[in-house]
Structure 1
Amino acid sequence: MRKPRDYDAELEALEEKAKVLKTRRVQQLGELVIATRADAFSAEELAGALIVLAETTDTGKREA
C-alpha cells in the first residue's frame, strides 16, 4: 500500500524554496547594479535604458 502524501508539508517546502529564490534574485540584481556602476543612475534612467535595450534588434548597439 502506498504511503499518503503530505501535501501541506510539500507546499510549505515549495513556498520556502520560492522565497529563497526571490531573495537571491534581488540580491544578485543589486550586486549586478553595483558591479556595473549602474547605481550612479536613477531608477527611471535604468528602466528607460533597459526598455530601449529590449527594443533594440541591432546586436552592435546591444553590446555597447
Structure 2
Amino acid sequence: MRKPRDYDSQLKALDDKAKQLKDARQRQFGELVAATGADALSIEQLAGALIAAAASDLVTREEWRKSGAAFFQRGAKARGGARAKPGGTAANTGGGTSAPAASRAS
C-alpha cells in the first residue's frame, strides 16, 4: 500500500522556497541599485525614474537593455572573466514596477 502524501509539509516547503526567492530578489535589486550608483539618488528621484522606465516605449527599453547588458559584461571582465549574472533580474518573475523593469522587456 502506498504511503499517503503529506500535502501540508510540501506546501510549507514551497512557501519557504517562495519566500527565499523573494528575499533574494529584493537583495539583488538593492545590490543593483548600489552597483549602478543609483543609490546616490533620492528615493523620489529613483521612484520617478522607475515609473518613467516602466511607461517607456519598446525601442527605448531595448536601448536600455543593451546598455544594461554592457554594464554586466564590463563587470564580468573586472571580476576576471567570470560570467556576469544580473541576479535573475532579466527574467520576468511577475510583480509590479521594480528596479529592473526596463531590463526585463527584451
TM range, normalised to the smaller chain?
0.7 to 0.9
Q: Residue 22 of structure 1 corresponds to which residue in structure 2? A: 22
Structure with more contact order per residue of length (Cα contacts < 8 Å, sep ≥ 6): 2
Query: Please, what TM-score do these two structures have when normalized by structure 2?
Result: 0.53
Residue 39 (structure 1) aligned with residue 77 (structure 2) = no
Please give the per-residue CA displacement for 1:3-56, whole angstroms capped at 9, x wherever unaligned: 211011101101110111111011100110011000001111111111111212
Q: How many angstroms apart in 2 are the aligned matches of 1:2 and 1:44?
A: 58
Q: How many angstroms apart in 2 are the aligned matches of 1:58 and 1:20?
A: 31
The AA in structure 2 aligned to 1:4 is P
- Tell me the matched-pair count: 64
Q: Residue 11 of structure 2 corresponds to which residue in structure 1? A: 11
Q: How many angstroms apart in 2 are the aligned matches of 1:57 and 1:28?
A: 25
Compared CA separation, residues 2 and 28, structure 1 to 2 (3 A) = same
Q: Percent identity?
A: 56
Unaligned runs of 5+ in 1: none
CA root-mean-square deviation: 2.0
Query: Please, what TM-score do these two structures have when normalized by structure 1?
Result: 0.82
Any idea what SS the aligned residue of 1:5 has? coil
Any idea what SS the aligned residue of 1:27 has? helix
Unaligned runs of 5+ in 2: 68-106
Any idea what SS the aligned residue of 1:3 has? coil
